Copies of this chain bind each other. A is one copy, B any other.
Amino acid sequence: MKNIKLIVAYDGTNYHGFQEQKGTGLDTIQEVLEKALSKLTKREIKIIGAGRTDAGVHARGQVVNFKCDDWPIPLTKTALAVNALLPNDIAVLKAELVPLDFHARFSAISKTYCYRVYNERILDPFVARYALHEPRRLDVQAIDEACQYLIGEHDFKSFQSKGTPVKTTIRKLTQARADKEGKLVKFIFSANGFLYNMVRIMVGTLIQVGLLKIKPEALRDILEAKDRTKAGPTVPPQGLFLERVDY
């Protein structure tokens, strides 16, 4: 028995998220990957993904793993072989052999997401698929200040959408910052785990800080409230990227 780990990048625009949606007939990243892997190996492959990205969310460093009796392709050639069977908007970047107890989701110790905002009056058509458009000027320094309140171990209940119930809403955020790169503002977050829509609600709230509608220190109160209605809106999926997963 072998356990194979893949690093996968995808443009999520045309997919209904990562996770298989049985019987819906909608394309998901998981199903397209499983179909390619199964075709390549002539056996049924079921994969486990580190992060269940939502419809329209992208990934530069999604991690998946799967087990199989043996692996017929040299690992250095696996990415190319799988990619030949994948559409252009999904690519395997790397394949490696991992210990049998490696689990893409449960073994992860940290995930990093990036949310991109195009902060300019007129939206660039080549960025539209990969960023939220915010034509009003964002104060990146105020956003960065607000980010400081999010870093650390907190109950992030205010930053969670309704979804599958979770045991605890406490998460440890190890990185939260905003970088201005040309006309893009990049929000970067690392944590040991994220609640459902957590990044998209944090960004929706931080944008209100950037627009000077709320003060940076409001983030402390919003965290303490443990109340979704106190935080900002959930921003749309196209700006969100799963950047990397650490083990």
Contact = CB atoms under 8 A, between A and B. Distances in A.
A20 to B, nearest CB: 20
A87 to B, nearest CB: 9
Interface string A73-107: 00000011001000011111100000000000000
A9 B125 contact: yes
Contact of A125 (B91, B125, B133): B91
Interface core residue of A11, A58, A80, A125 (most chain B CB under 10 Å): A125
A221 B244 CA distance: 50
A236 to B, nearest CB: 12
Interface core residue of A88, A90, A92 (most chain B CB under 10 Å): A88
Interface residues of A, number: 24
Main secondary structure of the interface of A (DSSP, over half): mixed
A123 B88 contact: yes
Number of copies: 2
Interface core residue of A93, A122, A130 (most chain B CB under 10 Å): A122
A124 interface: yes
A170 interface: no
A196 interface: no
A91 B58 contact: no
Contact of A128 (B11, B60, B93, B126): B11
Contacts of A129: 11, 88
